[in-house]
Amino acid sequence: MTRVLLVRHGRTSANASGVLAGRSPGVHLDDIGIAQASAVGELLQDVPVTHIVTSPLPRTVETAKLIRARLQSAQPLRIAKDKGLLECDYGDWSGRTLKKLARDPLWGAVQAHPSSVTFPGGESMLASQTRAVGAVRKWSALAEVQCAQRAVVLIVSHGDIIKSVVADALGMHLDAFQRIVIDPGSVTAIDYTALRPFVRLVNGTGDISVDLQAGIPTSSDAALGGGAGSKKRRK
């Protein structure tokens, strides 16, 4: 089993002003975003993180570094960057305000039928989900091999990307993913097992450190497969 912790980057000036940042490299954490990322690090400081992976964009890398600085890890943790975790390429929509985009005819499809949407000059939402889920599952499998089934992978990415990964883990169609809320500086936890993913936490922003440690297998029960089965066996 691998526990994957999906963290949305902290707030940016684009988030605060209602601008769709997309893949702009000039977007950074604002003061609130820095505080959010630092708070996540405090919440996770006792969680035995084994790997850190991030989207290559500055706002996610900044968030990952702030979290790493507060983790109580026995070994130095390298931050890996994976393009599969990049924000959706919104193409011509990038850099525009959400208020103006809401008047675009495509907006209705984005909200109700995102699986049908390809952004003008950009990427389809289905393609972004496919690559993101592939990246998450790749790192989950790699970490499990490297850590003898006791892995905890911290992944820092973007709102729509995390929502699409959660939808996949829940067995939801992408057209329902707008029902999921992922706030800046939030933590979502999914256990990937040989049987299926188990979603343990979505959009956590409070004191969640104890919940996130629950169910991480020890060397004696790592082979149980996670989820309800491993909890039952330890009682």
CATH code of 102's domain: 3.40.50.1240
Could you tell me the end-to-end alpha-carbon distance of the chain, in angstroms, rounded to an integer? 19
Give the total number of structural domains in the chain.
Answer: 1
- Tell me: the pLDDT tens digits for 36-71? 999 999 999 999 999 999 999 999 999 999 999 999
Question: What pLDDT score was predicted for residue 228?
Answer: 34
Partners of 52 in the β-ladder: 79, 154
Residue range(s) defining the domain that contains residue 22: 2-234
- Comparing 173 with 234, the larger pLDDT belongs to 173
Question: What pLDDT score was predicted for residue 150?
Answer: 80
Evaluate if residue 169 carries a pLDDT over 80. yes
Q: Could you tell me the strand order of the sheet in which 2-8 lies?
A: 79-81, 51-54, 151-157, 2-8, 187-192, 197-204
Burial 33-58 (b: 16+ CB within 10 A, else e): bbebbbbbbebbeebbbbbbbbbebb
Evaluate if residue 112 carries a pLDDT over 80. yes
